Amino acid sequence: MNSPIVRYRLLCSLMTLMTVVGAEAQTATAVPRLVVNVVVDQLRSDYLQAFAPLYGEDGLLRLMEQGRMYTQAEYPFNAPDRASAMACLVTGTSPYENGIVGTRWLDRQSLCPVHCVADEKYSCQFTADQCSPASLAVSTIGDELKIATNGRGVVVSVAPDKESAILSAGHAADGAFWIEDYSGRWSASSYYGEYPKWAYDYDRDSSLVDRIGSVEWTPLNDSVDQFAYFSERGKKKPFKHKFSGDRRFVAYKSSARVNEEVVRFACYAMEQSHMGEDNLTDMLNVSLYAGTYEHQGVSRYGVEMQDTYARLDRQISTLIRAVEDKVGQGNALFVLTSTGYTDAEDIDDLSQWRIPTGVFSITKAQLLLNMYLIAVYGPGQYIDTVDKNQLYINLKLIESKSLKLTEVLERCADFLIQLSGVKDVYTSQRLANGAWTPGISKLRNAYNTRHSGDVMIQVSPGWILYNENTYEKQLSRESYVGFPLIMMGCGIKAEKVRIPVSVDQVAPTLAQAMRIRAPNGCPLPPLNY
Protein backbone atom coordinates (compact mmCIF):
# COMPACT_ATOMS: atom_id res chain seq x y z
CA MET A 1 0.00 0.00 0.00
CA ASN A 2 2.97 2.29 0.58
CA SER A 3 4.54 1.75 -2.82
CA PRO A 4 4.73 4.82 -5.10
CA ILE A 5 2.80 3.03 -7.85
CA VAL A 6 -0.11 2.17 -5.55
CA ARG A 7 -0.21 5.68 -4.11
CA TYR A 8 -0.13 7.16 -7.64
CA ARG A 9 -3.01 4.96 -8.84
CA LEU A 10 -5.01 5.79 -5.73
CA LEU A 11 -4.40 9.52 -6.24
CA CYS A 12 -5.49 9.30 -9.90
CA SER A 13 -8.66 7.44 -8.94
CA LEU A 14 -9.52 10.04 -6.33
CA MET A 15 -8.91 12.90 -8.76
CA THR A 16 -11.10 11.20 -11.40
CA LEU A 17 -13.86 10.63 -8.86
CA MET A 18 -13.69 14.25 -7.71
CA THR A 19 -13.91 15.45 -11.30
CA VAL A 20 -16.98 13.32 -12.05
CA VAL A 21 -18.70 14.30 -8.81
CA GLY A 22 -17.87 17.96 -9.44
CA ALA A 23 -19.27 17.81 -12.95
CA GLU A 24 -22.45 16.12 -11.73
CA ALA A 25 -22.85 18.70 -8.99
CA GLN A 26 -22.35 21.51 -11.47
CA THR A 27 -24.95 20.02 -13.82
CA ALA A 28 -27.40 19.52 -10.97
CA THR A 29 -27.23 23.18 -10.01
CA ALA A 30 -27.41 24.59 -13.54
CA VAL A 31 -30.65 26.45 -12.90
CA PRO A 32 -31.21 29.71 -14.82
CA ARG A 33 -31.11 32.89 -12.78
CA LEU A 34 -33.46 34.49 -15.30
CA VAL A 35 -35.89 32.93 -17.76
CA VAL A 36 -36.77 35.25 -20.64
CA ASN A 37 -39.89 34.11 -22.46
CA VAL A 38 -40.28 36.00 -25.75
CA VAL A 39 -43.48 35.55 -27.75
CA VAL A 40 -43.55 37.26 -31.14
CA ASP A 41 -47.08 37.85 -32.37
CA GLN A 42 -47.47 36.36 -35.90
CA LEU A 43 -43.82 35.37 -36.33
CA ARG A 44 -43.48 33.12 -39.41
CA SER A 45 -40.74 30.64 -40.27
CA ASP A 46 -40.74 31.49 -43.98
CA TYR A 47 -40.24 35.20 -43.30
CA LEU A 48 -37.71 34.47 -40.54
CA GLN A 49 -35.57 32.53 -43.00
CA ALA A 50 -36.20 34.75 -46.04
CA PHE A 51 -35.09 37.96 -44.33
CA ALA A 52 -31.93 36.50 -42.73
CA PRO A 53 -29.64 38.67 -44.95
CA LEU A 54 -31.08 41.70 -43.13
CA TYR A 55 -30.05 40.49 -39.66
CA GLY A 56 -27.05 41.23 -37.53
CA GLU A 57 -25.01 38.55 -35.75
CA ASP A 58 -26.32 38.97 -32.21
CA GLY A 59 -30.10 38.70 -32.54
CA LEU A 60 -32.20 36.22 -34.44
CA LEU A 61 -29.19 34.62 -36.15
CA ARG A 62 -27.57 33.95 -32.80
CA LEU A 63 -30.74 32.32 -31.50
CA MET A 64 -31.02 30.16 -34.60
CA GLU A 65 -27.34 29.16 -34.64
CA GLN A 66 -26.56 28.81 -30.93
CA GLY A 67 -29.96 27.66 -29.66
CA ARG A 68 -31.97 24.48 -29.90
CA MET A 69 -34.36 25.34 -32.71
CA TYR A 70 -37.50 23.32 -33.27
CA THR A 71 -38.35 24.32 -36.83
CA GLN A 72 -41.92 22.99 -36.89
CA ALA A 73 -43.86 24.09 -33.83
CA GLU A 74 -47.65 24.05 -33.73
CA TYR A 75 -50.55 24.69 -31.37
CA PRO A 76 -52.68 21.73 -30.25
CA PHE A 77 -55.98 23.42 -31.09
CA ASN A 78 -57.77 24.97 -34.02
CA ALA A 79 -57.55 28.66 -35.04
CA PRO A 80 -55.31 30.19 -32.33
CA ASP A 81 -55.26 33.93 -31.84
CA ARG A 82 -53.04 36.15 -29.71
CA ALA A 83 -54.85 35.44 -26.43
CA SER A 84 -55.48 31.72 -26.81
CA ALA A 85 -51.92 31.16 -28.02
CA MET A 86 -50.43 33.02 -25.06
CA ALA A 87 -52.62 31.15 -22.58
CA CYS A 88 -51.61 27.80 -24.07
CA LEU A 89 -47.92 28.67 -23.97
CA VAL A 90 -47.82 29.60 -20.27
CA THR A 91 -50.32 27.00 -18.98
CA GLY A 92 -49.23 24.02 -21.05
CA THR A 93 -52.81 23.20 -21.98
CA SER A 94 -55.49 24.10 -24.52
CA PRO A 95 -58.59 26.34 -24.28
CA TYR A 96 -60.65 23.31 -23.31
CA GLU A 97 -58.83 23.38 -19.95
CA ASN A 98 -57.50 26.93 -19.54
CA GLY A 99 -60.74 28.69 -20.56
CA ILE A 100 -59.21 31.19 -23.00
CA VAL A 101 -60.90 30.36 -26.32
CA GLY A 102 -59.89 33.67 -27.88
CA THR A 103 -59.40 37.37 -27.32
CA ARG A 104 -63.16 37.66 -26.81
CA TRP A 105 -66.23 35.49 -26.58
CA LEU A 106 -69.98 35.89 -25.98
CA ASP A 107 -71.42 35.84 -22.48
CA ARG A 108 -74.11 33.15 -22.40
CA GLN A 109 -76.41 35.23 -20.21
CA SER A 110 -76.19 38.70 -21.76
CA LEU A 111 -75.12 37.61 -25.28
CA CYS A 112 -72.66 40.51 -25.16
CA PRO A 113 -68.99 40.27 -26.18
CA VAL A 114 -66.61 39.67 -23.27
CA HIS A 115 -62.90 40.43 -23.43
CA CYS A 116 -60.74 37.59 -22.17
CA VAL A 117 -59.16 39.65 -19.35
CA ALA A 118 -62.16 41.85 -18.48
CA ASP A 119 -62.92 42.03 -14.75
CA GLU A 120 -65.05 44.75 -13.13
CA LYS A 121 -63.36 44.18 -9.76
CA TYR A 122 -60.05 45.73 -10.78
CA SER A 123 -59.20 49.09 -12.32
CA CYS A 124 -56.30 49.83 -14.64
CA GLN A 125 -53.82 52.67 -14.78
CA PHE A 126 -54.39 55.51 -17.28
CA THR A 127 -57.51 53.88 -18.76
CA ALA A 128 -61.11 53.06 -18.01
CA ASP A 129 -60.43 49.36 -18.70
CA GLN A 130 -60.98 46.88 -15.88
CA CYS A 131 -58.84 43.78 -16.13
CA SER A 132 -57.47 40.71 -14.38
CA PRO A 133 -56.50 37.09 -15.20
CA ALA A 134 -59.71 35.77 -13.57
CA SER A 135 -60.88 33.97 -16.74
CA LEU A 136 -57.66 31.94 -16.84
CA ALA A 137 -58.86 28.72 -15.23
CA VAL A 138 -55.51 27.05 -14.44
CA SER A 139 -52.07 28.04 -13.17
CA THR A 140 -49.24 29.35 -15.34
CA ILE A 141 -45.52 28.64 -15.27
CA GLY A 142 -45.02 32.01 -13.56
CA ASP A 143 -47.57 31.05 -10.90
CA GLU A 144 -45.71 27.81 -10.22
CA LEU A 145 -42.43 29.72 -9.92
CA LYS A 146 -44.00 32.01 -7.29
CA ILE A 147 -45.28 28.98 -5.36
CA ALA A 148 -41.93 27.18 -5.51
CA THR A 149 -40.00 30.21 -4.26
CA ASN A 150 -42.58 31.21 -1.64
CA GLY A 151 -43.23 34.40 -3.56
CA ARG A 152 -39.59 35.51 -3.73
CA GLY A 153 -39.02 34.76 -7.42
CA VAL A 154 -39.89 37.84 -9.49
CA VAL A 155 -42.32 37.46 -12.40
CA VAL A 156 -42.96 40.42 -14.72
CA SER A 157 -44.70 40.60 -18.11
CA VAL A 158 -44.39 43.38 -20.70
CA ALA A 159 -46.41 43.54 -23.93
CA PRO A 160 -47.99 45.97 -26.39
CA ASP A 161 -51.49 44.68 -25.51
CA LYS A 162 -53.29 43.89 -22.27
CA GLU A 163 -54.24 40.29 -23.04
CA SER A 164 -50.65 39.24 -23.76
CA ALA A 165 -49.35 41.03 -20.68
CA ILE A 166 -51.96 39.70 -18.24
CA LEU A 167 -52.24 36.15 -19.55
CA SER A 168 -48.47 35.64 -19.68
CA ALA A 169 -48.17 37.09 -16.17
CA GLY A 170 -50.78 34.75 -14.73
CA HIS A 171 -52.39 35.01 -11.31
CA ALA A 172 -49.45 35.47 -8.96
CA ALA A 173 -47.05 37.74 -10.88
CA ASP A 174 -45.48 40.90 -9.58
CA GLY A 175 -46.71 42.95 -12.52
CA ALA A 176 -48.13 42.99 -16.05
CA PHE A 177 -47.63 46.11 -18.16
CA TRP A 178 -48.97 47.15 -21.56
CA ILE A 179 -49.32 50.25 -23.76
CA GLU A 180 -52.80 51.70 -23.42
CA ASP A 181 -54.48 52.22 -26.80
CA TYR A 182 -55.52 55.85 -26.39
CA SER A 183 -53.43 57.39 -23.60
CA GLY A 184 -50.22 55.80 -24.88
CA ARG A 185 -49.01 55.25 -21.32
CA TRP A 186 -47.86 52.05 -19.71
CA SER A 187 -50.89 50.62 -17.96
CA ALA A 188 -51.29 47.91 -15.34
CA SER A 189 -54.14 46.29 -13.42
CA SER A 190 -54.75 46.95 -9.73
CA TYR A 191 -55.11 43.17 -9.45
CA TYR A 192 -51.29 43.02 -9.20
CA GLY A 193 -51.14 45.65 -6.50
CA GLU A 194 -50.11 49.27 -6.47
CA TYR A 195 -48.66 50.75 -9.63
CA PRO A 196 -44.89 50.78 -8.96
CA LYS A 197 -43.01 54.02 -8.46
CA TRP A 198 -40.41 53.07 -11.02
CA ALA A 199 -43.14 52.86 -13.70
CA TYR A 200 -44.27 56.36 -12.74
CA ASP A 201 -40.66 57.51 -13.02
CA TYR A 202 -40.35 55.98 -16.49
CA ASP A 203 -43.50 57.74 -17.64
CA ARG A 204 -42.27 61.03 -16.23
CA ASP A 205 -38.78 60.87 -17.71
CA SER A 206 -39.29 59.15 -21.07
CA SER A 207 -43.00 58.91 -21.80
CA LEU A 208 -44.02 57.59 -25.21
CA VAL A 209 -46.72 60.28 -25.18
CA ASP A 210 -44.03 62.94 -25.32
CA ARG A 211 -42.08 61.16 -28.07
CA ILE A 212 -44.80 59.86 -30.40
CA GLY A 213 -45.03 63.11 -32.40
CA SER A 214 -41.43 62.77 -33.55
CA VAL A 215 -41.53 59.03 -34.25
CA GLU A 216 -41.36 58.07 -37.91
CA TRP A 217 -41.30 54.65 -39.45
CA THR A 218 -39.00 54.46 -42.44
CA PRO A 219 -36.72 51.63 -43.64
CA LEU A 220 -34.08 50.79 -41.07
CA ASN A 221 -31.32 50.94 -43.68
CA ASP A 222 -30.68 50.72 -47.41
CA SER A 223 -30.51 46.92 -47.24
CA VAL A 224 -34.18 46.76 -46.29
CA ASP A 225 -35.20 49.14 -49.04
CA GLN A 226 -33.24 47.22 -51.69
CA PHE A 227 -34.17 43.73 -50.56
CA ALA A 228 -36.76 42.13 -52.84
CA TYR A 229 -38.93 39.32 -51.48
CA PHE A 230 -42.46 40.48 -52.18
CA SER A 231 -43.54 41.31 -55.69
CA GLU A 232 -45.62 44.29 -54.57
CA ARG A 233 -47.69 43.44 -57.64
CA GLY A 234 -44.83 44.46 -59.86
CA LYS A 235 -43.72 47.58 -58.04
CA LYS A 236 -41.53 48.12 -55.02
CA LYS A 237 -42.47 51.17 -52.95
CA PRO A 238 -40.54 53.09 -50.27
CA PHE A 239 -42.50 54.05 -47.20
CA LYS A 240 -42.72 56.65 -44.47
CA HIS A 241 -45.31 56.48 -41.68
CA LYS A 242 -46.06 58.97 -38.93
CA PHE A 243 -48.37 58.44 -35.97
CA SER A 244 -50.96 61.13 -35.34
CA GLY A 245 -54.62 61.59 -34.49
CA ASP A 246 -56.78 59.85 -31.92
CA ARG A 247 -55.67 56.39 -33.04
CA ARG A 248 -51.96 57.15 -33.21
CA PHE A 249 -51.04 54.68 -30.49
CA VAL A 250 -53.21 51.95 -32.02
CA ALA A 251 -51.37 52.41 -35.32
CA TYR A 252 -48.03 52.55 -33.51
CA LYS A 253 -48.75 49.22 -31.81
CA SER A 254 -49.28 47.60 -35.22
CA SER A 255 -45.92 48.83 -36.51
CA ALA A 256 -42.36 47.58 -36.17
CA ARG A 257 -41.50 50.57 -33.97
CA VAL A 258 -43.55 49.24 -31.04
CA ASN A 259 -40.92 46.59 -30.30
CA GLU A 260 -38.41 49.30 -29.46
CA GLU A 261 -40.69 50.68 -26.76
CA VAL A 262 -41.53 47.22 -25.38
CA VAL A 263 -37.88 46.14 -25.11
CA ARG A 264 -36.89 49.49 -23.64
CA PHE A 265 -39.54 49.22 -20.93
CA ALA A 266 -38.80 45.51 -20.35
CA CYS A 267 -35.11 46.22 -19.75
CA TYR A 268 -36.03 49.06 -17.39
CA ALA A 269 -38.47 46.79 -15.53
CA MET A 270 -35.78 44.11 -15.24
CA GLU A 271 -33.38 46.58 -13.62
CA GLN A 272 -35.91 48.19 -11.31
CA SER A 273 -37.34 44.83 -10.21
CA HIS A 274 -33.84 43.55 -9.40
CA MET A 275 -34.32 40.47 -11.55
CA GLY A 276 -31.48 37.97 -11.68
CA GLU A 277 -29.67 39.45 -8.69
CA ASP A 278 -29.90 36.42 -6.38
CA ASN A 279 -29.83 32.64 -6.65
CA LEU A 280 -33.59 32.35 -7.11
CA THR A 281 -34.93 32.09 -10.64
CA ASP A 282 -36.88 35.09 -11.95
CA MET A 283 -39.02 35.23 -15.09
CA LEU A 284 -39.43 38.01 -17.64
CA ASN A 285 -42.20 37.59 -20.25
CA VAL A 286 -41.85 39.85 -23.29
CA SER A 287 -44.36 40.04 -26.15
CA LEU A 288 -43.29 41.54 -29.48
CA TYR A 289 -45.01 42.15 -32.80
CA ALA A 290 -44.24 40.85 -36.30
CA GLY A 291 -47.60 41.25 -38.01
CA THR A 292 -48.62 43.59 -40.80
CA TYR A 293 -49.00 47.33 -40.42
CA GLU A 294 -52.52 48.23 -39.25
CA HIS A 295 -53.37 44.53 -39.69
CA GLN A 296 -53.72 44.93 -43.44
CA GLY A 297 -52.73 42.41 -46.08
CA VAL A 298 -49.01 42.00 -46.71
CA SER A 299 -49.63 42.82 -50.38
CA ARG A 300 -50.06 46.45 -49.29
CA TYR A 301 -47.10 46.62 -46.93
CA GLY A 302 -44.48 44.22 -48.26
CA VAL A 303 -41.43 46.45 -47.67
CA GLU A 304 -42.77 47.28 -44.22
CA MET A 305 -42.86 43.58 -43.42
CA GLN A 306 -39.21 43.21 -44.43
CA ASP A 307 -38.35 46.13 -42.18
CA THR A 308 -40.39 44.63 -39.34
CA TYR A 309 -38.15 41.56 -39.24
CA ALA A 310 -34.97 43.62 -39.56
CA ARG A 311 -36.06 45.79 -36.62
CA LEU A 312 -37.24 42.75 -34.67
CA ASP A 313 -33.76 41.29 -35.02
CA ARG A 314 -32.21 44.47 -33.64
CA GLN A 315 -34.54 44.50 -30.60
CA ILE A 316 -33.93 40.80 -29.89
CA SER A 317 -30.22 41.61 -29.91
CA THR A 318 -30.77 44.53 -27.51
CA LEU A 319 -32.77 42.33 -25.14
CA ILE A 320 -30.23 39.48 -25.15
CA ARG A 321 -27.37 41.90 -24.51
CA ALA A 322 -29.19 43.62 -21.62
CA VAL A 323 -30.06 40.29 -19.99
CA GLU A 324 -26.54 38.87 -20.30
CA ASP A 325 -25.01 42.09 -19.01
CA LYS A 326 -27.29 41.67 -16.01
CA VAL A 327 -26.87 37.97 -15.16
CA GLY A 328 -23.90 36.84 -17.21
CA GLN A 329 -23.74 34.71 -20.34
CA GLY A 330 -25.01 31.20 -19.69
CA ASN A 331 -27.06 32.17 -16.64
CA ALA A 332 -30.20 33.07 -18.58
CA LEU A 333 -32.56 30.81 -20.48
CA PHE A 334 -34.11 32.41 -23.56
CA VAL A 335 -37.25 31.02 -25.17
CA LEU A 336 -38.68 32.44 -28.39
CA THR A 337 -41.77 31.35 -30.26
CA SER A 338 -44.82 32.69 -32.11
CA THR A 339 -48.56 33.03 -31.58
CA GLY A 340 -48.98 30.72 -34.57
CA TYR A 341 -51.40 32.69 -36.71
CA THR A 342 -51.36 35.63 -39.10
CA ASP A 343 -53.81 38.40 -39.85
CA ALA A 344 -56.17 37.56 -42.69
CA GLU A 345 -54.93 38.39 -46.16
CA ASP A 346 -56.88 40.64 -48.50
CA ILE A 347 -59.77 38.59 -49.89
CA ASP A 348 -59.32 38.23 -53.64
CA ASP A 349 -61.93 36.96 -56.06
CA LEU A 350 -60.87 33.33 -56.40
CA SER A 351 -63.33 32.78 -59.24
CA GLN A 352 -61.00 34.63 -61.61
CA TRP A 353 -58.58 31.75 -61.08
CA ARG A 354 -61.39 29.21 -61.46
CA ILE A 355 -60.96 28.11 -57.83
CA PRO A 356 -64.20 26.96 -56.17
CA THR A 357 -65.52 29.76 -53.99
CA GLY A 358 -68.68 31.39 -52.66
CA VAL A 359 -70.11 33.38 -49.75
CA PHE A 360 -71.68 31.66 -46.77
CA SER A 361 -73.84 34.06 -44.77
CA ILE A 362 -74.02 32.82 -41.20
CA THR A 363 -76.79 35.33 -40.43
CA LYS A 364 -78.96 33.93 -43.23
CA ALA A 365 -78.14 30.42 -42.02
CA GLN A 366 -79.35 31.47 -38.56
CA LEU A 367 -82.69 32.67 -39.97
CA LEU A 368 -83.21 29.58 -42.11
CA LEU A 369 -82.34 27.26 -39.22
CA ASN A 370 -84.75 29.06 -36.89
CA MET A 371 -87.55 28.75 -39.47
CA TYR A 372 -86.84 25.03 -39.75
CA LEU A 373 -86.93 24.57 -35.96
CA ILE A 374 -90.22 26.51 -35.78
CA ALA A 375 -91.69 24.11 -38.33
CA VAL A 376 -90.55 21.17 -36.20
CA TYR A 377 -91.10 22.39 -32.63
CA GLY A 378 -93.48 25.33 -32.90
CA PRO A 379 -93.02 29.12 -32.50
CA GLY A 380 -89.98 30.53 -30.76
CA GLN A 381 -86.56 32.11 -31.15
CA TYR A 382 -84.42 28.98 -31.05
CA ILE A 383 -81.12 30.64 -31.99
CA ASP A 384 -80.02 33.36 -29.60
CA THR A 385 -77.23 34.77 -31.73
CA VAL A 386 -74.20 33.98 -33.87
CA ASP A 387 -70.55 34.83 -33.35
CA LYS A 388 -67.83 34.07 -35.88
CA ASN A 389 -68.67 30.51 -37.03
CA GLN A 390 -70.67 29.58 -33.93
CA LEU A 391 -74.40 29.53 -33.17
CA TYR A 392 -75.74 29.93 -29.65
CA ILE A 393 -78.92 27.95 -28.88
CA ASN A 394 -81.68 29.44 -26.70
CA LEU A 395 -81.30 26.90 -23.90
CA LYS A 396 -84.08 28.45 -21.80
CA LEU A 397 -86.58 27.98 -24.65
CA ILE A 398 -85.43 24.38 -25.12
CA GLU A 399 -85.99 23.75 -21.42
CA SER A 400 -89.39 25.51 -21.32
CA LYS A 401 -90.62 23.33 -24.21
CA SER A 402 -89.25 20.19 -22.51
CA LEU A 403 -87.20 19.39 -25.59
CA LYS A 404 -84.16 17.13 -25.60
CA LEU A 405 -81.10 19.23 -26.31
CA THR A 406 -79.35 16.29 -27.99
CA GLU A 407 -82.18 15.93 -30.48
CA VAL A 408 -82.33 19.68 -31.21
CA LEU A 409 -78.58 19.83 -31.81
CA GLU A 410 -78.71 16.82 -34.13
CA ARG A 411 -81.51 18.46 -36.14
CA CYS A 412 -79.45 21.66 -36.37
CA ALA A 413 -76.45 19.76 -37.70
CA ASP A 414 -78.55 17.75 -40.18
CA PHE A 415 -80.10 20.95 -41.55
CA LEU A 416 -76.93 23.07 -41.75
CA ILE A 417 -74.80 20.41 -43.44
CA GLN A 418 -77.10 20.65 -46.47
CA LEU A 419 -76.36 24.34 -47.05
CA SER A 420 -73.98 25.33 -49.82
CA GLY A 421 -70.48 26.10 -48.60
CA VAL A 422 -70.68 24.00 -45.42
CA LYS A 423 -67.91 21.44 -45.04
CA ASP A 424 -68.94 20.06 -41.64
CA VAL A 425 -70.97 20.90 -38.54
CA TYR A 426 -69.89 20.18 -34.98
CA THR A 427 -72.28 20.39 -32.05
CA SER A 428 -71.13 20.78 -28.47
CA GLN A 429 -72.20 17.22 -27.76
CA ARG A 430 -70.39 15.84 -30.79
CA LEU A 431 -67.20 17.56 -29.65
CA ALA A 432 -67.64 16.22 -26.14
CA ASN A 433 -68.74 12.69 -26.89
CA GLY A 434 -68.61 12.04 -30.63
CA ALA A 435 -66.49 9.61 -32.54
CA TRP A 436 -63.07 10.59 -33.78
CA THR A 437 -62.83 12.18 -37.21
CA PRO A 438 -59.88 13.89 -38.93
CA GLY A 439 -59.17 17.21 -37.24
CA ILE A 440 -61.65 16.74 -34.38
CA SER A 441 -58.89 16.64 -31.78
CA LYS A 442 -57.85 20.24 -32.44
CA LEU A 443 -61.49 21.33 -32.58
CA ARG A 444 -62.16 19.73 -29.22
CA ASN A 445 -59.14 21.42 -27.69
CA ALA A 446 -60.40 24.80 -28.98
CA TYR A 447 -63.83 24.26 -27.42
CA ASN A 448 -64.77 25.34 -23.89
CA THR A 449 -68.12 24.56 -22.29
CA ARG A 450 -68.40 27.98 -20.62
CA HIS A 451 -67.36 30.24 -23.49
CA SER A 452 -68.03 28.47 -26.79
CA GLY A 453 -71.20 28.24 -28.85
CA ASP A 454 -73.46 25.19 -29.20
CA VAL A 455 -73.00 24.65 -32.95
CA MET A 456 -69.76 25.24 -34.89
CA ILE A 457 -69.85 25.47 -38.70
CA GLN A 458 -66.82 24.61 -40.82
CA VAL A 459 -66.98 26.49 -44.07
CA SER A 460 -65.47 24.84 -47.15
CA PRO A 461 -61.96 26.00 -48.17
CA GLY A 462 -62.13 28.95 -50.55
CA TRP A 463 -65.51 30.11 -49.26
CA ILE A 464 -66.04 33.35 -47.37
CA LEU A 465 -67.80 33.31 -44.00
CA TYR A 466 -69.86 36.51 -43.85
CA ASN A 467 -71.74 38.07 -40.93
CA GLU A 468 -74.25 40.58 -42.31
CA ASN A 469 -74.80 42.17 -38.90
CA THR A 470 -71.16 43.00 -38.21
CA TYR A 471 -69.92 43.03 -41.86
CA GLU A 472 -67.12 40.67 -40.86
CA LYS A 473 -65.65 38.55 -43.65
CA GLN A 474 -63.27 35.63 -43.26
CA LEU A 475 -61.82 33.50 -46.03
CA SER A 476 -61.72 29.84 -45.12
CA ARG A 477 -58.47 28.08 -45.82
CA GLU A 478 -56.67 25.17 -44.22
CA SER A 479 -53.22 26.72 -44.03
CA TYR A 480 -50.50 25.71 -41.62
CA VAL A 481 -48.54 28.77 -40.48
CA GLY A 482 -45.03 27.48 -39.86
CA PHE A 483 -43.20 28.99 -36.92
CA PRO A 484 -40.21 28.04 -34.75
CA LEU A 485 -39.61 27.32 -31.08
CA ILE A 486 -36.10 28.29 -29.99
CA MET A 487 -34.35 27.77 -26.64
CA MET A 488 -30.90 29.20 -25.92
CA GLY A 489 -28.62 29.52 -22.90
CA CYS A 490 -28.09 27.80 -19.58
CA GLY A 491 -26.62 24.58 -20.96
CA ILE A 492 -28.86 24.30 -24.05
CA LYS A 493 -26.91 22.69 -26.90
CA ALA A 494 -27.19 24.08 -30.40
CA GLU A 495 -29.26 21.84 -32.64
CA LYS A 496 -31.95 22.03 -35.31
CA VAL A 497 -34.83 19.68 -34.65
CA ARG A 498 -37.18 19.14 -37.58
CA ILE A 499 -39.60 16.82 -35.80
CA PRO A 500 -42.92 18.69 -35.14
CA VAL A 501 -43.44 19.78 -31.53
CA SER A 502 -46.48 21.13 -29.72
CA VAL A 503 -46.35 24.49 -27.94
CA ASP A 504 -48.10 23.10 -24.85
CA GLN A 505 -44.81 21.33 -24.08
CA VAL A 506 -43.03 24.64 -23.44
CA ALA A 507 -44.43 25.12 -19.92
CA PRO A 508 -43.37 21.69 -18.61
CA THR A 509 -39.98 22.17 -20.29
CA LEU A 510 -39.43 25.48 -18.50
CA ALA A 511 -40.63 23.91 -15.27
CA GLN A 512 -38.02 21.18 -15.61
CA ALA A 513 -35.30 23.75 -16.32
CA MET A 514 -36.30 25.74 -13.22
CA ARG A 515 -36.69 22.57 -11.06
CA ILE A 516 -40.33 23.37 -10.25
CA ARG A 517 -43.69 21.73 -10.88
CA ALA A 518 -45.46 22.21 -14.19
CA PRO A 519 -48.74 24.20 -14.28
CA ASN A 520 -51.66 22.31 -12.74
CA GLY A 521 -53.53 21.77 -16.02
CA CYS A 522 -50.48 20.61 -17.98
CA PRO A 523 -50.73 16.94 -19.09
CA LEU A 524 -47.60 16.58 -21.25
CA PRO A 525 -43.95 15.76 -20.47
CA PRO A 526 -41.16 18.26 -21.19
CA LEU A 527 -39.18 18.35 -24.41
CA ASN A 528 -35.79 16.68 -24.55
CA TYR A 529 -32.98 19.23 -24.71
pLDDT at 423 over 60: yes
Q: Of 290, 312, 345, which one is at a domain's C-terminal end?
A: 345
Same domain membership, residue 360 and residue 326: no
- pTM for the whole structure: 0.91
Band of pLDDT at residue 4, cut at 50, 70 and 90: low
Query: Is 370 part of a structural domain of the chain?
Result: yes
- Amino acid code (one letter) for 10: L
- State the pLDDT at residue 345: 73
Distance CA 221, CA 53 (A): 12
Query: Is 268 part of a structural domain of the chain?
Result: yes
Distance CA 78, CA 353 (A): 28
Query: Is 504 part of a structural domain of the chain?
Result: no
Mean pLDDT of 160-183: 98
Average pLDDT score, the chain: 91
Query: Picking from 1-15, 253-267, 404-418, which range would have the lowest pLDDT averaged per residue?
Result: 1-15
Same domain membership, residue 433 and residue 329: no
Tell me the pairing of strands 282-289 and 155-159.
parallel
- State the pLDDT at residue 7: 54
pLDDT at 29 over 60: no
Query: Is 483 part of a structural domain of the chain?
Result: no
Same domain membership, residue 386 and residue 295: no
Counting residues of the chain whose pLDDT is more than 90, the rounded percentage is 81
Query: Is 408 part of a structural domain of the chain?
Result: yes
Query: Picking from 206-215, 233-242, 316-325, 504-513, which range would have the lowest pLDDT averaged per residue?
Result: 233-242
pLDDT at 10 over 90: no
Band of pLDDT at residue 529, cut at 50, 70 and 90: confident
Query: Is 480 part of a structural domain of the chain?
Result: no
Band of pLDDT at residue 398, cut at 50, 70 and 90: very high
CATH number at residue 133: 3.40.720.10
- State the pLDDT at residue 183: 95
Query: Picking from 13-27, 136-150, 255-269, 459-473, which range would have the lowest pLDDT averaged per residue?
Result: 13-27
Same domain membership, residue 317 and residue 379: no
Same domain membership, residue 430 and residue 314: no
pLDDT at 28 over 70: no
Same domain membership, residue 282 and residue 195: yes
Mean pLDDT of 373-392: 96
Band of pLDDT at residue 296, cut at 50, 70 and 90: confident
How many structural domains is the chain composed of? 2
pLDDT at 462 over 80: yes
For 464-510, the pLDDT digits (tens) are 999 999 988 888 887 678 999 999 999 899 999 999 999 999 999 99
Determine the Cα angle at 323 with ends 318 and 328, to 5°: 125
- State the pLDDT at residue 142: 98
pLDDT at 155 over 80: yes
Same domain membership, residue 429 and residue 307: no
Same domain membership, residue 221 and residue 88: yes
pLDDT at 24 over 50: no
Query: Picking from 136-140, 294-298, 388-392, 422-426, which range would have the lowest pLDDT averaged per residue?
Result: 294-298
Going from the C-alpha of 526 to that of each of 78, 91, 373, the distances in angstroms are 22, 13, 49
Same domain membership, residue 288 and residue 232: yes
For 77-118, the pLDDT digits (tens) are 999 999 999 999 999 999 999 999 999 999 988 889 999 999
* Structure-model confidence comparison of residues 10 and 114, the more confident one: 114
DSSP 172-193: S-SEEEEE-TTT-SEE-BGGG-
Query: Is 524 part of a structural domain of the chain?
Result: no
Mean pLDDT of 379-387: 96
223 SS3 class: helix
Range of the domain at 468: 350-475
Determine the Cα angle at 368 with ends 366 and 371, to 5°: 110
Q: Of 329, 345, 361, which one is at a domain's C-terminal end?
A: 345
Distance CA 135, CA 119 (A): 9
pLDDT at 13 over 80: no
Query: Picking from 4-8, 52-56, 236-240, 414-418, which range would have the lowest pLDDT averaged per residue?
Result: 4-8
94 SS3 class: coil
Mean pLDDT of 31-37: 97
Same domain membership, residue 361 and residue 319: no
Same domain membership, residue 330 and residue 439: no
Q: Of 428, 455, 475, which one is at a domain's C-terminal end?
A: 475
Same domain membership, residue 398 and residue 284: no
CATH number at residue 426: 3.30.1360.150
Q: What is the DSSP letter of 461?
A: T
DSSP 106-128: E-TTT--EEETTEEEEEEBTTSS
pLDDT at 9 over 50: yes
Handedness of CA 497, 500, 506, 509 (dihedral sign): negative
Query: Is 206 part of a structural domain of the chain?
Result: yes
Q: Which residue from 176, 94, 120 is spatially nearest to 143, judged by alpha carbons?
A: 176
- Which secondary-structure segment (H or E) carries 458? strand 455-459
